[in-house]
Amino acid sequence: MCSRCDPKALLAESGLKATAQRVRVLGAVLAFQEALSPPALLAAIRWEGPMDKVTLYRTLESLEAHGLICRHEAGDGSVRYCAAGPDHPQHHHFFCQRCKRLLCLEPDAVRVGADVPGVEQVVVRLDGTCADCRG
């Protein structure tokens, strides 16, 4: 859980208006050390009242366009979102093939040599069994 970041402050810094929906969705993304699917995000914010899927997807799009969240593909092909931006540097992910969670790794947990001309981004996903599932 990221306790350092205030969704309202991050929205203000990014130039996005801090609407109630954006604060809710960004707050939910920041609350997890893993990348969540849209259905999981809906479940996470449900206690504050309902939000329809269209609103959620539109909100995720605007947050992503402003660099506050980042979209990733999990090992089952589904889309997941986790925190991005200056306080949340680019990092790689661990996909658990049992519980299907996509866990955020520390930024320097995986070192990949990208000694290839023209490379701008390296996307690495580790697939395996997470600590919880290993028991």
Site for Zn ion, rule CB under 5 A: 2, 4-5, 35, 82, 87, 96, 98-99, 104, 130, 133
- Half-sphere exposure (Cβ direction) of 28: Cα atoms closer than 13 Å: 25
The neighbour count for residue 76, using CB atoms within 10 Å, is 11
Amino acid at 15: G
Find the shortest distance in angstroms from Cβ 100 to Zn ion: 7
In the complex with Zn ion, the residue whose CB is nearer, 50 or 77, is 77
Contact, 8 vs 14, CB < 8 A? no
In the complex with Zn ion, the residue whose CB is nearer, 48 or 87, is 87
What is d(CA 25, CA 55) in angstroms, rounded to the nearest whole number? Answer: 10
Find the shortest distance in angstroms from Cβ 128 to Zn ion: 9
Find the shortest distance in angstroms from Cβ 122 to Zn ion: 14
